[in-house]
Structure 1
Amino acid sequence: MNILNWIYPLFWKIISVQVQVEEGILEGEVVANQYGNPFFSFKGIPYAEPPLGDLRFKAPEPKNPWKGVRNAKVHASNCFHYELFTNNTEPTIGSEDCLYLNVYTPNIVPVHPLPVMVWIHGGGFISGSGDDNAYGPEYLIRKGVILVTLNYRLEILGFLSLDTEDIPGNAGMKDQVAALRWVKRNIRKFGGDPDNITIFGESAGGASVSFHVVSPMTKGLFKRAIMQSGTVTGWLPHTFRPREKAIRLAQDLGFYSNDLKEIYKFFINQPVENLYGKEVRLSYAASSKESPNFMNLFALVSETQFGDKERYYYGDAYDLVRNGMHEGVQIINGYTEDEGIIYFSAGVDVERLFDQANKFVELFVPLPFTRETPLTAQMEIGRRFREFYLKNDTASKDNLDDLLRYFNMELFSFSAVSMQKLVAKRVGDRSYLYKFTCKSELNMFSSATGLDGLFNYRPVTAHADDLGYLFPSSTTIDMKSNAFKMIDQLTTLWTNFAKYGDPTPDDSLGAKWLPFTSTNQEYLDIGEILVPKTFPDKEEIDFWESVFQEYLPQYVP
C-alpha cells in the first residue's frame, strides 16, 4: 500500500507545507487534482534578483537569502509582455520583477528521488509565462514526475542587443540558465533527482531547449531535452542584424545617435511601457510583405566576448549541433501536422496574403535566402517554390492547403528534420523525431486565434495544439473520453522519456518508437494511435534540400 494513500488526508487538514531551500524557507500547499492524487504546489519562487535598474538587459544575479517564511501559494508577477495573437498591445499583467518559478511535486519525501521535468513556455519570445492557467501540472504529475515552470524576460527587455558589454543580448536565455541552476541546486528538497532533469518546451520554448543543448552555460544542468515546434536550426529564433535593430528601435522611440554608450543610457532610462509591443522591420521587403509580427521578433544573437563574462550562445547553429552539442544528452524533437496555420494569425490580412502570393514570387522565398542571396537569385528561388507548391494555380481559400504546406516547412518542419539529420550523424547520440497529428476538442489554436472560419474545411492540428494534451485547460475532460486517452498517451511518452530515456520502453502503448537514423529517418506519427513511420515529408524535404544545396549549401544537414 502506498503510504501517501493514508498520509494525504492528514495533509488536507494541514493544507500548508514548508520546504527549506538554499535561500530560505518556502511555504507551499497541497492541491487537489481532479485527474489523480493531490500534489504539493510551490509557486512564485524567486530564482534570481529582480533585473531592475542597472541590471536591466544584464545577466541575472543570484537571489539573496530572505528572512522568515516566504509565501509560495500564489504566482508572482509575470514578465512584461503583450498578447501575441491579438491586436491588443496592452500588457495583461507584467513587471520587470518577474524572475520566478513554480514547483509541483507528487511527493516531497519519496523513497527514491523523482525525475524532474522543467517546462519553458513559448510565445515567440514576446508573450507568455509559466503560470498554471496555461501550464498546470495535473496531467503530467499523474505519471510520477516533478514539474517545474518558469518566467523569463521577453521581447526587448529579454532580447535586445547592442553587441556591447552593456547590452550583449540573450538576457532572457540567461534567465532560463539561472532557473536551471536553481533547480539543479534545490530540487532534491522537493523530492527530485538533480541528476535526472529533462527540459522541454514548445515554439519559442522548444527553440530555447534546443539552444540549451548547445550552450556552454548549460552543460551538466540536464540529462534530456524535448523540443516541440522549435529548434536552434530554425530561422525565427535568430535576430537579424541585432545592433541595427536596436538602433532603429531607439530611433522609433525618438532618439537619434550613433554613440552606443548614449543609446544604452537611453534604453536603461526608458519607462518599461516603451519597451514592449514594438515591431522593428529592417528591410523594405520585410515591411511590405504580409507576414505575422513574430517574423520580426527580438530573439537570440551570437554574442561577442567581453572580458571574463559568460556568453550564452556564439557561433553558427549548424556547426554547433555538429560539433558543440552536449555529449550524451538524449533528444525528442518534432512538429505538428499543420504548423503553418500560425502564419495566418497575429494580424495577417489573408486576402492581401493571397494577392501577394499571386503577384510576387518573393512571398515564396524562405527567410535565409532573403538575407543571404541577391534579388536575382531570390526571384528564381521564389519561382521554384511557388511552382512546387501551387503548380499553375492561383492562391485562394480553394487551395489553402498548398500554401499551408509551404509555411509548415518554412517555419518549423524543415528545420526540425534538419536538426535530426545533424544529430543522427553524431556518434553515440540518441534522438527521436515525431509528427503530432492528434485531433479532438483539445485542438484550440485555430478557434483561439479566430481562424476556425478559414480552416473549417477539415480538422487541423495547428501550431501549439499539442499543448492541450500536456496541460489542462479550464474545461474539465472526461477521463473516459477519447481525448483523455490521447492525453494519457502523450504524457506517458514524455514522462517515459524523462524516466528512462526511451519513450516506449515496453509494449504498453502498442507501438515502438525507434530512434532517428540517417538510413531510415524513423519517426513516430502521434495521432489517436501511434504509428511508426520513416522519411518524414520526404518529397518536400528533398526539394528544399536541393534548392539549398544550389544556393546556400551550409543549410543542408
Structure 2
Amino acid sequence: MALFGILAAVAVLLETASAASLGVVYTEGGMVEGESIRLGLFRRMDVFKGIPYADMPGRFEKPKRHPGWDGILKAKEYRNRCLQLNLLMNDVRGSEDCLYLNIWVPHGSSVSSNLPVMVWIYGGGFLVGGSMGANFLDNYLYSGQEIADRGDVIVVTLGYRVGSLGFLSTGDADLPGNYGLWDQQAAIAWVHRNIRSFGGNPDNVTIFGESAGGASVSMQTLTPHNKGLFKRAISQSGVALCPWAINKNPRKFAEEVALKVNCPTDEKMAACLKMTDPKVLTMAGTLSLSSSPDSPLVYNLVLSPVVDGDFLPDEPHNLFHNAADIDYLAGVNDMDGHIFTGSDVPSVNSQLVDTPIEDVKRLLASLTKEKGRLGLDNAYSTYTLDWGTNPSRETIKKTVVAIETDYIFLIPTQAALYLHAANATTGRTYSYLFSEPNRLGGITTPFPSWLGADHADDLQYVFGKPFTTPLGYWPRHRDVSKYMIAYWTNFAKTGDPNNGGLSVPVFWPAFTSTGHKFLEIHARMDKGYVGQKLRMREVNFWTSVFPSLPEITSE
C-alpha cells in the first residue's frame, strides 16, 4: 500500500511539474486561449494560432488597431494567408481578412517569464507567402516549435499583405504603397505592447526573415517608425539594397494593372482601383516569369516596396543611421542566385549541354546595360579572371550562378553590412555565408551535382526540420540545424551569436568596418570556416568600379 501511495504521489508531482501553461491570456483586444502541448518530462509549450494584431485592412490603407472581442478567443487554428496568386498564377488563394499572428511559448517546470522574442517575416517576392509556410504532412515550414523549444525563446510568425493589395503604388499620395510593410510594423508594435502577457520581454525582440522577408526586416530597421520596438534583426538572403527590393518606377506597373482591370490611367485611377474586385486586382498583379539572358527574371519583380516619403523617407542607403542601435546579422546562401539562373540560362542545369560563353556575356550585358560596352567588358574580365584559356563546362556554369548570386543577393548584403557597421553606435554587425549543399543536387535529379546552397535552402535548418521530419535527413543535416538554431537564438538573447546558453561549433567574430570577417555555415565547421573580405574582387567591382564608370547617354 505504501508503494502505491509513493507512486501516486510521484504521478501527481510529475503532472504538476509538466503542467506549466499560461492558460487564458489577457491581451489588449481581449482574452485568448491557445493549446498546451507536452514536449518531454519537464517541457511544455503553449501555441497560439490566429490572434488578430490589427483589424481587417481597408483596401490600399494602413492597418488599424483591432476593435477587440468579447469572451475568450480560441486561438487554435492558423488563419487564411493574405489574398495572393496561387503557385501556377492562374487563380488566387487566401483572404483579405489576414492580419493575424501565431505565438510559440516554451515552458520548463514553471511558467516562463521575460523570454527573448523572435518575430518571423516570411519571403515570397512580396507576391506570395504565409505565416505558416509550406505544409508537408501537417508539418508547416514556419512552425516555431523547434526554435522555441531548443533556444528557449518565444517565436512569433505574422501575416502581411502581398501582391497588388500589399504593394501596388501610383508613386504619389493617391496610392502610396508599402501596405505590407505597414502590416509588419503593426504586428511588431503589437508584439511590443502585448508579449509580456505571454511571458516575453518586450525590450528584447529580434525580427528575422528570408528573401523578401529579409529585405522587409532590413527596411523595418531603416524606417524611423520603429524606434524602440525591437533590438536586433536578422536578414537571410535579402536586404533593402537588393535590386528587386525597391521599385523605382511604381507608376508604370500601376498603369499596367489599371489597364488590365479596365480602370483609367489618369487622376481617377486610384479611386477606380480601390473599387475593383480584390481577386481581379490580385490576378492583374501577376508578373511575367519568362526570362532569358537578355531580360533576367530579377527585373520582373516589380510589386515591391517604394520610397514613399513616409515609411521610407529616403533611399534605403541613406537611412542606416536609424539602425545605429540595432544588432544586425545578415548573410546569403553561396548559390542563392541559382533559382534565377535556372530560368534565365536554363542550360546551367543540364549535366550534358554546354552553357555558351555568349550567354555569360548576354547576361552580364543586361545587368550592366546602363554603362554599355565599358560595363560589360569590366564585368566580364572580373568574372573570367581565373578561367584560364579553356574553362571547363562546370566552371562556366558555376560562373553564371555566381554572377546572379552576387548581383541579386551577395553584393547588396555586403553593402548593407558595411553601411550598418559604419553607422553603428551600440549595434553589432555579423556576416555569414551558408554553404551546406542542396540536398537535391546529384546525378538523378534536375539539379547539377556541384550545386551549393540554393535560395531558401537555409529555411529548413533554421526551423529545425531535420528534427521534426528525421527520415528526410542525414545526421549532418541535424548538425547544421543545431548550429543555426544555436547561433540565431544566442544572438536573439544577447546580440552575440556565440553567447546565450547554446554551444556553437566555431566562434563567430563580429563584422567591423576594418575587419570584414564572416562565418561560413556548414555541417562540418571548424575555425577554417571563419573568413575575411567575402568575394572581395566582385564586391569591389560592383560597389566601386562599376558605379564610377560613365553612364551611356544613348544606345
TM-score, with length taken from structure 1: 0.84
Task: Establish whether residue 123 from structure 1 lines up as the match of residue 124 from structure 2.
Answer: yes
Q: Which residue of 2 aligns with 1:380?
A: 374
Shift of 1:287: 9.4
**C-alpha contact 1:290 1:349 (8 A) present in aligned 2:** no
Within the candidate set 2, 16, 24, 1:7 is matched to 16
Q: Which moved more, 1:241-250 or 1:197-206?
A: 241-250
Q: Which one is further off, 285-294 or 378-387?
A: 285-294
Q: Against the structure 1 CA distance between its residues 22 and 251, is the aligned structure 2 distance closer, same or farther, given a 3 Å change threshold?
A: same
**How far off is 1:494 after superposition?**
0.5
Partners of 1:125 and 1:136 in 2: CA distance: 20
Matches within 5 A, 1:96-495: 96-107=96-107, 110=111, 112-131=113-132, 133-142=140-149, 143-259=151-267, 262-278=268-284, 289-292=294-297, 295-304=300-309, 311-321=310-320, 324-344=321-341, 348=344, 350-351=346-347, 358=358, 361=361, 363-365=363-365, 370=369, 373=370, 377-390=371-384, 399-428=396-425, 429-439=427-437, 443=438, 453-473=445-465, 476-477=469-470, 481-495=475-489
Give the SS at the match of 2:84: coil
Aligned equivalents of 2:314 and 2:417: distance in 1? 19
In the TM superposition, residue 105 of structure 1 has moved relative to its aligned partner by 0.4
Over 3 Å counting, the alpha-carbon distance change for 1:241 and 1:357 in structure 2 is farther
Q: For 1:4 and 1:138, how far apart are their aligned partners in 2?
A: 25
- CA shift at 1:418, angstroms? 0.9
Deviation at 1:114, TM superposition (A): 0.3
**Could you say if the C-alpha distance between residues 4 and 257 of structure 1 is closer, same or farther in structure 2, counting changes exceeding 3 Å?**
farther
Q: Which residue of 1 aligns with 2:492?
A: 498
Partner of residue 308, structure 1: none
Deviates most, 333-342 or 101-110 = 101-110
Asked whether the 8 Å contact 2:43–2:107 carries over to 1, the reply is: no
How far off is 1:542 after superposition? 2.3
Query: Aligned partners of 1:366 and 1:424: how far apart in 2?
Result: 31
Distance 1:451 1:214 in 2: 44
Deviations 1:304-342 (A, max 9, x none): 4xxxxxx21121221212xx3233111101111111112
CA contact (8 A) 2:432 2:520 kept: yes
Structure 2: state its 5+ residue gaps: 1-11, 134-139
Q: 2:46 maps to what in 1? A: 40
Deviations 1:211-265 (A, max 9, x none): 0111011111100001111111211110131122211221233334322xx1112
Measure, in 2, the Cα distance between the counterparts of 1:484 and 1:75. Answer: 27
- When residues 498 and 460 of structure 1 are mapped into structure 2, their CA distance, relative to the original with a 3 A threshold, is same
- Shift of the 546–195 alpha-carbon distance from structure 1 to 2, 3 Å rule, reads closer
Cα distance, 1:63 vs structure 2: 0.5
**CA distance change for structure 1 residues 514 and 6 in 2, over 3 Å: closer, same or farther?**
farther
Per-residue displacement from partner, 1:401-425 (whole Å, max 9, x unpaired)?
0101101101100011111111222
Q: Number of matched residues?
A: 518
What amino acid is aligned across from residue 174 of structure 2 in structure 1? Answer: D
After superposition, the Cα gap between the structure-2 partners of 1:213 and 1:110, relative to the gap in structure 1 and judged at 3 Å, is same
Residue 4 of structure 1: how far off its partner (Å): 10
Structure 1 residues 393 and 416 mapped into 2: Cα distance closer, same or farther (>3 Å)?
Answer: farther
TM normalised by structure 2 equals: 0.84
Kept in 2, the 8 Å contact 1:150–1:179? The answer is: yes
Cα distance change, pair 243–508 in 1 and its aligned pair in 2 (3 A): same
Per-residue deviation, 1:278: 4.4
Shift of 1:383: 3.1
Amino acid at match of 1:23: G
Aligned residue type for 1:534:
Q
Report the counterpart of residue 94 of structure 1 in structure 2: 94
CA distance in 2, matches of 1:236, 1:40: 38
| Residues 1:27 and 2:23 aligned together | no
Counterpart residue type for residue 363 of structure 1 = L
Q: Distance in 2 between matches of 1:406 and 1:113?
A: 45
Q: Deviations over 1:128-178 (max 9, x none)?
A: 111161201222112110000000000110001113333111000000010
Identity of aligned residues (%): 31
- C-alpha root-mean-square deviation of aligned residues, in Å? 3.4
In 2, distance between residues paired with 1:325 and 1:451? 48
Question: Larger Rg: 1 or 2?
Answer: 2
